[in-house]
Structure 1
Amino acid sequence: MFGGFFEKLKTGLSKTRDNLTDKMNEVFNLAVTIDEDLYEELEEILITSDIGVDTSVEIIERLRKRIREEKIKDVEEVRPCLKKVIRDMMREGTKEVEEYEGEKAILIIGVNGVGKTTSIGKIAAQYKKQGKKVLLAAADTFRAAAIDQLEVWSQRANVDLIKHQEGSDPAAVVFDAISAAKARKVDILICDTAGRLHNKKNLMDELSKINRIVDREFKESKKETLLVLDGTTGQNAVIQAKQFKEVCDIDGIILTKLDGTAKGGVVISIVRELNIPVKYIGVGEGIEDLQKFNEEEFVEALF
């Protein structure tokens, strides 16, 4: 039923799972009846697994309702019921989007250090593997290291890169990249952008300028804005996403570094509170370790 990535996901989520499951096992082993104490303890476990207060409260509310409706009396049946509640909740937040077949311009946003450049390299490599022609645009001109890093990834993924020097206008880089994309008949253009959240006004101006250029110069393409978040930061990732959401429209989220963190529960929180689908999750360093998100596999691996 599940592929090889599922095993990686399971391993990657092991710390989160240990945190969640060990505590739950304890509660279920000691519980005699389905009562208020059981609900309260479960809610506390969800909150401490970085699922977030609001989301945890809602999960427990839905669990109560389901247990009432299905007339469940046996403590043993609470766990599978909880799993279903979480899965359904995540399904509501992740609408199944058909993979667009035409030309695509993907803007990647996110603060420095979350794994933005690495994610771009991995996505580029995956599209390339599907036989698509990919071009990268180094529009994070704020950091010289960002341009160099993207260059390394473009070579690794064997795709072209359009860059200017550090400090140049990001919108100009995107403009040149679009011209090159049209001339070279590129399927996928991926633009790296600067992620300076502390100066929202500048970031907003910069992103809206880039967006205007894409809309005007590359109108035949489908535009997608993906926000990269670091899974190890837990609820801070949710706060960051809310801040970016104030600056621009976000079509999807890439959640990195889920391996080796006990805060994997944040995925549930992101889907629920932000109503933005999680598109990719990363559970390792390798190119293959960033994969399309599947809520079914995620909940399965979590429990």
Structure 2
Amino acid sequence: MKDLWLWIVIAVVLVAVVAGLVGNRVGASRRRRAGGAPAAPPVAEAPPSPEPSSSTATAPEAPAVGRAVAEPDVAEAEVAPQLERPEPVAGRLARLRGRLARSGSPLGARLLAVLSRDHLTDDDWDELEETLLLADVGAGPTGEIVEALRTRVRVEGVKDPAAVRELLRSELLAIVDPTLDRSLSTERHPGPDGSGVPAVVLVVGVNGTGKTTTIGKLARVLVAEDRSVVLGAADTFRAAAADQLETWGSRVGVPTVRSDRDGADPAAVAFDAVRQGRAEGVDVVVVDTAGRLQNKAGLMDELGKITRVITKEAPLTEVLLVLDATTGQNGLTQARVFGEVAGVTGIVLTKLDGTARGGIVVAVQRELGVPVKLVGLGEGPDDLAPFDPEAFVDGLLGD
């Protein structure tokens, strides 16, 4: 009897197992017929990659197949600054002539108007003399011009306007003196030890005359003539002077030697500039100086020290005095002091086109006995030109 119950239990278990297997198969078959698919087994999530540190280099991500690769942004790429190419020097004096003529300068117009009168009285000659004095020609040169004109008008009996103009032109040109050597000494020359040394140009003048700006423009003149240049920022008492000079030089690829601190020894900066120019084999070193005119003794000491220190490396070839043409006769006081202290070899007149008193050219040459070599024609970067007496006089008289 016990054996019978055992077989019954075994049979029930077997029936239950078979029924479960059949049910699973049927369910799977129904899901396939309904379009279902078994779910994919879960995949373990990968841990996030660590951020790269600032000191480690990371390789660029490989582009996926079929995906367009973005071009690098040109605007974001670092582009070297484009150096400026200064204008040629040759055509600059034509602008001076045109600007002087358009400025309505009363000098040439009034002189021509007086000389063209039918009969010149003493009052007419007084008016002529007054016109020249107001144009800052100076008392001495004015007397010479008036006397020469009176003689020629009396002897030649000039009345025709064209003849009068030519007469006046010849007298003005003679007083401006076209025979003076107005060339700049900017050629390399042998040094004491036989090696080539650069020309050294020292620029002096009081603050406010446009001295530092003139040096920047002079650098452009030299670059336009294919000269290599180094600038020396020896005006260490005006904080902005070195920055201003460096900005001018960087535009045309000219380096500036400067001190790291304000109030440094100007002679030391000048010496470093000349030494660097000599080491690099440049053609010209242009040195800026402080424009303080506190007293004659202090100015003499400072400029004397700069000169002594510079000449240990290379001789000075030019000392240029920058004067503001609009100051007129007041500029002659400055010119006189710097002429006695610095041994000026040439004059740079700035703002010449902004004044009707062009006679300052004559007066300052007479005062110092040195020629005007460069003139400022305006505020543009290339508005500095070699002085040409004939173009200047023609500009004063107009066409």
Check whether TM > 0.5. yes
Contact 1:33 1:75 in 2 (8 A): no
Q: How much has 1:15 moved relative to structure 2?
A: 6.9
Q: How much has 1:25 moved relative to structure 2?
A: 4.4
Unaligned runs of 5+ in 2: 1-89, 189-197
Q: Any idea what the Cα deviations from partners look like across 1:57-93, whole Å, max 9, x if unmatched? A: 121123234445xx21133344421221111122267
Structure 1 position 168 matched with structure 2 position 264: yes
Structure 1 position 83 matched with structure 2 position 193: no
Contact 1:271 1:278 in 2 (8 A): yes
Question: Is the alpha carbon distance of 1:121 and 1:297 closer, same or farther for their aligned partners in structure 2, counting shifts above 3 Å?
Answer: same
Contact 1:94 1:271 in 2 (8 A): no
Structure with more helix by fraction: 1
Give the secondary structure class of the aligned counterpart of 2:156: coil
What CA distance in whole angstroms lies between the structure 1 residues aligned with 2:368 and 2:153?
27
Q: Any idea what the Cα deviations from partners look like across 1:277-301, whole Å, max 9, x if unmatched? A: 1110011122321000011111111
Structure 1 position 134 matched with structure 2 position 218: no
Greater alpha carbon shift after TM alignment, 177-186 vs 160-169: 177-186
Which amino acid is 2:214 matched to?
S
The equivalent of 2:243 in structure 1 is 148
The equivalent of 1:217 in structure 2 is 313
Contact 2:202 2:289 in 1 (8 A): yes
What CA distance in whole angstroms lies between the structure 1 residues aligned with 2:91 and 2:284?
26
Q: How many pairs align?
A: 296
The equivalent of 2:158 in structure 1 is 74
Larger RCO: 1 or 2 (CA < 8 Å, sep 6+): 1
The equivalent of 2:36 in structure 1 is none
Which amino acid is 1:5 matched to?
R
Question: Is the alpha carbon distance of 1:234 and 1:93 closer, same or farther for their aligned partners in structure 2, counting shifts above 3 Å?
Answer: farther
Give the secondary structure class of the aligned counterpart of 2:146: helix
What CA distance in whole angstroms lies between the structure 1 residues aligned with 2:169 and 2:308?
43
TM-score by length of 2: 0.69
Contact 1:108 1:228 in 2 (8 A): yes
Contact 1:170 1:193 in 2 (8 A): yes
The equivalent of 1:95 in structure 2 is 181
Which amino acid is 1:74 matched to?
V
The equivalent of 2:118 in structure 1 is 32
What CA distance in whole angstroms lies between the structure 1 residues aligned with 2:342 and 2:396?
31
1:181 paired residue among 277, 280, 287: 277
Identity among equivalent positions (%) equals: 44
Contact 1:15 1:261 in 2 (8 A): no
Structure 1 position 207 matched with structure 2 position 207: no
TM-score by length of 1: 0.90
Question: Is the alpha carbon distance of 1:119 and 1:293 closer, same or farther for their aligned partners in structure 2, counting shifts above 3 Å?
Answer: same
Q: How much has 1:129 moved relative to structure 2?
A: 2.3
The equivalent of 1:278 in structure 2 is 372
What CA distance in whole angstroms lies between the structure 2 residues aligned with 1:147 and 1:166?
9
Structure 1 position 18 matched with structure 2 position 102: no
- Which protein is bigger by CA-based radius of gyration? 2
